[in-house]
Amino acid sequence: MPFQFFGTSGAMSSPERDNTALAFYSKDEVVLVDCSGSPYQKILKAGLDPTRVTSLIVTHRHVDHVYGIPSLAHNMGLAGRRAAVHVYALSETMKVLRGFMGLFPLEEKMPYRIELHEVPPKEGHDVLRAKGFRILSTPVKHGAPNIGLRVEFDSPGERGAVVYSGDTSPCPSLIALARGADVLIHEATFLHDEVVRAAADGHTTGYQVGEVASQAGVKRLILCHFSASLHGREDELRREAVHSFTGPVELAEELREYRV
């Protein structure tokens, strides 16, 4: 199942990298994960059809993961969308989403509905099932309640699992979720010399992300959510990760199609 990064940075964007957000897609539908930047433009730049976007999963309430939502909702309405958009999030995150809907009259003039689905903070929760794939969530360890996601797909010629960590410190629940995955997309916000700050902020260092990938037994590791202070020096994160993980380690590139 192909996926693309709409952004790969931490909380600060830079000329090179936008805030972390992703799109997973099958032949029939697109599932967005987090919503930053100019999301409608990113969908178009990625070569995806906005009418195929069925769902948005919001991992947590931090600004860099949610601020694009009003714009996405507005643009979809202006484009004449009729089908409902399903939004999945933890109850804490949902408060922010309801706040957006109070702040902007998103649905009043829109020809479609936004349907909110609350995700319980439960390990291995079945968030959604669609033709050819399903998505599971698990709570991870961050400054706000947050979830990691496992996308499992099984369609002719394609079978596997991709896991996205969300923002997190290394944690057993994410390692369990990632067990044996073909690809682990994991945040690597800081280098290991900032391990104390990483722990305080609920993030992972380059060195730690290699350990997580190795403990989870994944086949391939893709790093993202890089602190803006490391843009241009991301290879240092990769070099830390390969200390403890022997599989391939890549630095996420924006608007490039990845396949398992």
Residue indicated by tokens 């009418």? 51
Rg (alpha carbons) of the chain, rounded to whole number: 17
Strand intervals (E) in 49-124: 53-57, 85-89, 114-118
Stretch that binds Zn ion, among 28-36, 94-102, 160-168, 191-199 (CB under 5 A): 160-168
Q: Is 240 in the site for Zn ion (CB under 5 A)?
A: no
Nearest Cα to Cα of residue 218 among 158, 256, 168, 161: 161
Q: Which is nearer to Zn ion, 11 or 76 (CB)?
A: 11
Shortest distance in whole angstroms from residue 165 CB to Zn ion: 11
End-to-end CA gap in the chain: 7
**51 DSSP assignment:** G
Shortest distance in whole angstroms from residue 225 CB to Zn ion: 6
Extract the tokens encoding 10: 């931490």
Q: Which is nearer to Zn ion, 42 or 62 (CB)?
A: 62
Q: Is 34 in the site for Zn ion (CB under 5 A)?
A: no
Q: Is 64 in the site for Zn ion (CB under 5 A)?
A: yes
Stretch that binds Zn ion, among 108-116, 159-167, 233-241, 250-258 (CB under 5 A): 159-167
3 state SS of 3: strand
Shortest distance in whole angstroms from residue 62 CB to Zn ion: 3
Stretch that binds Zn ion, among 33-41, 94-102, 133-141, 166-174 (CB under 5 A): 166-174
Q: What are phi and psi of 138, to 5 degrees?
A: -150, 140
Cα separation, 47 vs 119, whole angstroms: 29
Q: Is 18 in the site for Zn ion (CB under 5 A)?
A: no
- When binding is defined by CB under 5 A, the residue of 167, 194, 234, 240 that contacts Zn ion is 167
Residues near Zn ion (CB under 5 A): 62, 64, 167
